[in-house]
Amino acid sequence: MIVRNILLVIAVSFFTVACNKAPLKVKNSAALVKIGNKVLYRSDLEENIPAGLSKEDSIIASEHFIRSWVNDILLYNIAVKNLSDKGKIDRMVEDYRRSLFIYQYEERLVNERLTKEIDEQALYDYYNQNKDKLQVERPLIQGIFLKVPVSAPQLKEMRLWYKSTTSDARENLEKNSAGNAVIYDYFVDTWTDFNSVMDKFPKDLLNRADFAVRKKTLEKQDDDYFYLLNITDCLLPGDNAPYENAKETVKEILINQRKIEFLKKTQDELYQRALDKDEIQFYNE
C-alpha cells in the first residue's frame, strides 16, 4: 500500500508535467527502492516512464519498471553467488567492450574518410555484371492509370485512348485528362510498384483475379468515377530488376565493398606500422 501511494504521487507529478508540456528541469534524486548497495532513484524512474501518460497508466508503468528493476537486482545477486566461472563472464564482457570500441572507431573512420559517392558508370557496370543476382521482390508494372468522373466530357473516347499506344491517342488522352481526370498517372517508361497502383482502386470493386499481374486493361466503376488501368509491361518476383530500381541496392553493395576494403587496408597499415616500431613481439617455441 505504501508503494502504491508513492507511485500515485509520482504519477500525479508525471501527469501534471505532461499537461503543462514542460520537462522537469531538475531530477528528483529521492530514493525509491534499495537492495543491498543498489538504489533506484526517482530520477531513474522518471527517465524511463514515457511522457503524456494518464495518471493511472503512469502508476501501472511505474509499478512495472520498479518490479523489473527489483527482479533484475535479485537475480543478478543470486547469479553472482552461484556461478563459479566468473572469469569467463569477465572475459566475455571485456571482449564485448573491446568489440564496441573497435566498431565505434571504425564507423568514425569510415564516416570521416570514406566518401559514399559512387560513380554512375561504376553502378551501371556492376549492374550489368550481376543483373541475374538483382531480382524483383514485388511485382512491377508500366502503364497508365486514370480516375475520371462519370460525367466527364469525351469519357467514351478516353476509355479508348488509354488502351492505345499511338502518339495521337496519348496526346488526346493527356489533353483531356488535364481538365477532367482526378488522377492521371503516366508511367509507361517508369517501373512502378503494382500494389501501390492497385491501392488507387476502391477495395470493394476489386476481386482476386484483378490482382493477377499481366499485360492487361482493368476498368472499374462506382457511382462517381471510372477507374482505368492499362498495364503495358510487367515484371514478377524473381525477374531481373530494372537498373533504376536496382540502383540503390547496387550502391549499397559497392559502398559496403569499399568499406570492407578500406578497413582491411587500415588494419594492414596498423599491423605494418607496429612491426616497424617493434611493438609486436613473437615468441617462437
The 10s digit of each residue's pLDDT in 4-15 is: 555 555 545 554
User: pLDDT value at position 6?
Assistant: 53
pLDDT at position 175 over 60: yes
What whole-number distance in Å separates Cα of residue 155 and Cα of residue 100?
65
The residue behind cell 492521371 is 184
Domains of the chain (ranges, CATH numbers): 2-82 (no CATH), 133-235 (3.10.50)
User: pLDDT value at position 257?
Assistant: 96
For the entire predicted model, the pTM comes to 0.67
CA 232 to chain centre: 31
Category of 6 on φ-ψ map: left (φ > 0), alpha (ψ -120 to 50) or beta: alpha
Residue 172: exposure state from Cβ atoms within 10 A (0-12, 13-18, ≥19):
middle
pLDDT at position 190 over 50: yes
What whole-number distance in Å separates Cα of residue 35 and Cα of residue 282?
49
Whether residue 24 contacts residue 56, with contact meaning beta carbons closer than 8 Å, is answered with no
pLDDT at position 21 over 90: no
The 10s digit of each residue's pLDDT in 61-106 is: 999 999 999 999 999 999 989 988 888 999 999 999 999 999 999 9
Neighbouring-strand partners of residue 34: 39
Instruction: Enter the DSSP assignment of 253.
Output: H
